[in-house]
Amino acid sequence: MMWRNLASTALSMMVLLLIVAGGLIAWGKTQYEEPGPLEVAICLRVEPGSNFNRVSEALAVDGAISSPAIFRMGAEYSGKTDALKAGSFLVPEGASMAQIADIVTRGGASTCGTEIVYRIGITQTEIQLRELDPETQRFVTQAEFAPDDESIPADYLRLRDAAGTRFRVSIAEGATSWQIVDALGKADFLAGGVSALPDEGMLAPDSYEVVKGEERSSLVGRMVTAQEALLAEAWANRADDLPYGTPQEALIMASIVEKETGIADERRDVASVFVNRLGRGMRLQTDPTVIYGITGGKGTLGRGLRQSELRADTSYNTYVIDGLPPTPIANPGLASIEAALVPTQTDYIFFVAKTLNPADGHVFATTLEEHNANVAKFRALEAEQGSQ
């Protein structure tokens, strides 16, 4: 009888312990998955070779988790312990321990901290040193300078070589292939060379995440692949009855649109002007093609076109030749590619700048009489500006 009582008591204790353990597990799971105590987003730095013990303690100090032990056990239970990644990670306000464990183990690029942005523009290249403010989740520029400046900020040299710094190469719409390759050659965080200048128009303007020491040729290859994909998709969705029959011709038109306007809302209207001119057998008569014929895409002209240049019989002088020039004159962005392939349906044949400020866009006309009146207004503005 006594043994039965002892066995019954032991069994009851085991059941009780299982209930308590189950309750503790359920409580711990709730703690692991419910919103955390973090009141303001933080940037968590995970050093190479770190582990979940160090990360959990850092998170506790920052007030991001309520229990380092539960965080570690939750990560262990979910199989994330061995997947910790080095980098700088944005931990948002109220993130649960489960969310944080996912953030620091999923891989990919760092999501906060210091970022070096190498901006390749039309007229200049500059380097920006930026830091993400976790609270506003916006980058704050710490320094700006050109890669060939005589005095390079010491912070740049320090952070360029620091672990966790992110690198980004940003290409402006309308930059030429020569400008892009030349500027990449001055990026001291990239390696190697580019054996051949890519075809004009085939480098997609975009912002590219890179790693320190990445081969320049590899980055250029990524740009070409991206542009090929954008052009192929846009070509597949093109409008009917366009006056060009190949993706290459569409790319040429897109590059002209890109150089004629930086106003997103009027790109399709500008494209319609050139499509209408081609459809009527008119010459394109666009200055950017003439300029490209003079510079070869190697920088800007830096002055106005001369009458002799407008009359010169060259393959890029669209005041003289019929149809399109032989190649694109820059690397157009997606919006200009789409504009060339799906222009608005208009009767526009002419356009001229509204004011001396390019940001004000253009005024369009369907007749030469209207266009001459618009040109007269623009000349009057030029004269007024010159007299001041």
How far apart are alpha carbons 89 and 110 in whole angstroms? 6
Q: What share of the chain is helix, strand, coil (3-state, %, to 5)?
A: 45, 15, 40
Q: How far is CA 340 from CA 19, 69, 332, in A?
A: 69, 59, 10
235: its two tokens: 């070509």
Average pLDDT over residues 250-255: 98
Asked if residue 23 has pLDDT above 60, the reply is no
DSSP letter (8 states) at residue 206: S
Are the beta carbons of 177 and 199 closer than 8 angstroms?
yes
Task: Report the pLDDT value the prediction gives residue 154, as an integer from 0 to 100.
Answer: 85
Nearest by Cα to 264 from 332, 316, 355: 332
User: Which domains are present in the chain?
Assistant: 30-112 (3.30.1490.480), 114-231 (no CATH), 246-348 (no CATH)
How far apart are alpha carbons 99 and 96 in whole angstroms? 5
367: its two tokens: 């007749």
358 compared with 31, residue with greater pLDDT? 358
Asked if residue 16 has pLDDT above 60, the reply is no
Query: Which of helix, strand or coil describes residue 243?
Result: coil
Strands (DSSP E) contained in the chain are 42-46, 87-91, 114-120, 125-133, 138-145, 166-171, 207-210, 350-353, 362-365
Residue with tokens 């030469």: 368
Asked if residue 380 has pLDDT above 60, the reply is yes
CA angle 237, 323, 173 (to 5 degrees): 55
337: its two tokens: 């590619």
Burial 5-20 (b: 16+ CB within 10 A, else e): eeeeeeeeeeeeeeee
Task: Report the pLDDT value the prediction gives residue 11, as an integer from 0 to 100.
Answer: 54
Average pLDDT over residues 81-101: 83
Task: Report the pLDDT value the prediction gives residue 191, as an integer from 0 to 100.
Answer: 95
Asked if residue 167 has pLDDT above 60, the reply is yes
For 72-81, 181-190, 237-246, 251-260, which range has the lowest pLDDT when averaged over its residues? 72-81
60 compared with 134, residue with greater pLDDT? 60
26 compared with 326, residue with greater pLDDT? 326
**Taking the CA of residue 50 as centre, how many other CA atoms within 13 Å lie in the half-sphere pointing to its CB?**
19
Query: Which of helix, strand or coil describes residue 179?
Result: helix
Task: Report the pLDDT value the prediction gives residue 62, as an integer from 0 to 100.
Answer: 83
179 compared with 88, residue with greater pLDDT? 179
273 compared with 144, residue with greater pLDDT? 273
At residue 145, what are phi and psi to the nearest 5 degrees?
-165, 165
Burial 101-114 (b: 16+ CB within 10 A, else e): bebbbeeeebbbbb
Q: How far is CA 290 from CA 176, 260, 309, 319, 332, in A?
A: 15, 12, 8, 8, 17
Nearest by Cα to 154 from 177, 134, 129: 129
Task: Report the pLDDT value the prediction gives residue 59, as an integer from 0 to 100.
Answer: 86
Average pLDDT over residues 22-41: 71
Asked if residue 133 has pLDDT above 80, the reply is no
Query: CB-based burial of residue 367 (10 Å sphere; 0-12 exposed, 13-18 middle, 19+ buried)?
Result: exposed
pLDDT tens for each residue of 283-317: 999 999 999 999 999 988 888 889 998 999 999 99
Are the beta carbons of 174 and 332 closer than 8 angstroms?
yes
Kindly give the interhelix angle for 2-33 and 68-77, rounded to the nearest 10 degrees: 100
Asked if residue 85 has pLDDT above 60, the reply is yes
Task: Report the pLDDT value the prediction gives residue 24, as an integer from 0 to 100.
Answer: 53
Beta-carbon contacts of 181 under 8 Å, excluding residues fewer than 6 positions away, are 194, 197, 198, 216, 220
Residue 254 pLDDT class (50, 70, 90 cuts)? very high
Whether the CA torsion 291, 293, 295, 297 is positive or negative: it is positive
Average pLDDT over residues 353-361: 87
Residue with tokens 């299982």: 18
Asked if residue 36 has pLDDT above 60, the reply is yes
Residue 9 pLDDT class (50, 70, 90 cuts)? low
